[in-house]
Amino acid sequence: MSIPLSELESHAGRELGVSDWYPLTQEVVDQFAEATRDFQWIHVDPVRAADGPFGGPIAHGMLTLSMLPAMVTDTFAVDGADLIINKGFDKVRLGKPVPVGSRVRGAVRLTGVRPRPKGYTEVTLGVSVEVESAEGAALTAEMIFLYHAEAA
Q: What would the pLDDT profile of 58-100 be if each residue is shown by its tens digit?
A: 999 999 999 999 999 999 999 999 999 999 999 999 999 999 9
Q: How confident is the model at residue 152 (pLDDT cuts 50, 70, 90)?
A: very low
Structural Rg of the chain based on CA atoms: 17
Positive or negative torsion for Cα 24, 98, 110, 16: positive
Which residues lie closer than 8 Å to 14 by C-beta, 6 or more apart?
A: 109, 110
At residue 44, the 3 state secondary structure works out as helix
In this predicted structure, what is the pLDDT of residue 83?
Answer: 94
Domains of the chain in sequence order: 2-148 (3.10.129.10)
pLDDT-derived band at 150 (thresholds 50, 70, 90) equals: confident
Q: What is the mean pLDDT of residues 109-122?
A: 95
The string over 120-142, giving b where at least 16 C-beta atoms fall within 10 Å of a residue's C-beta and e elsewhere, is bbebbbbbbbbbeeeeebbbbbb
> pTM score, two decimals?
0.91
What is the mean pLDDT of the segment spanning 112-141?
96
Summarised one tens digit per residue, pLDDT across range 12-50 is 999 999 999 999 999 999 999 999 999 999 999 999 999
